[in-house]
Amino acid sequence: MKTMLAKLWKAFRFPKKFQLFVMRFLQDQFLVGLTGIIFNDKNEVLLFKHVYRAHSWSLPGGYMKAGEHPKEALEREIKEESGLVVSVDEQLKTRTDRETARLDICYVGVFIGGDFSPSSEVSEFGFFSLDKLPLIRKNQLFLINEALTQRT
């Protein structure tokens, strides 16, 4: 189902509100979105180049499935979308969306290994230092800065 939705988002470039509407329709009550700030041993941040987003580079993430712990869900999403293995360690921030039935949880973790494999959602990956980040959304830059502040 997820792969089919990703292909539709890419092909038709549906607006974000429509995407969320469809996701909510397919979910029971509300969505739990997960975002990961994953560091390598050089303190660089993992970013994915998503095929369906306006800002193609962004932090890895996804949605939790019923019965999953949020940390496990984020580790699963990253592995499914890229083949990369990470360890999700600490919760950084939780945000609720007052307009929609959605909860977003951001975690900080570390890169363990694995070989990158492109998927229907992610075409590239990279580790970036703060001064070499590609164009990303401001709220994600804020989260990266928060995580870096806590690490030092």
Whether residue 58 contacts residue 140, with contact meaning beta carbons closer than 8 Å, is answered with yes
User: Between β-strands 57-58 and 45-50, what pairing exists: parallel, antiparallel or unpaired?
Assistant: antiparallel
Known catalytic residue: 124?
yes
Regarding the domain delimited by 31-151, which CATH topology (the fold level of the hierarchy) does it fall under? Answer: Nucleoside Triphosphate Pyrophosphohydrolase (3.90.79)
Per annotation, catalytic residue among 44, 72, 80, 124: 124
Per-residue pLDDT of the chain (152 residues; tens, 9 = 90+): 566 666 766 677 777 677 777 776 665 567 889 999 999 999 999 999 988 777 789 999 999 988 899 999 999 999 999 999 999 999 999 988 777 778 899 999 999 999 999 999 999 999 999 999 999 999 999 999 999 998 87
pTM of the model: 0.80
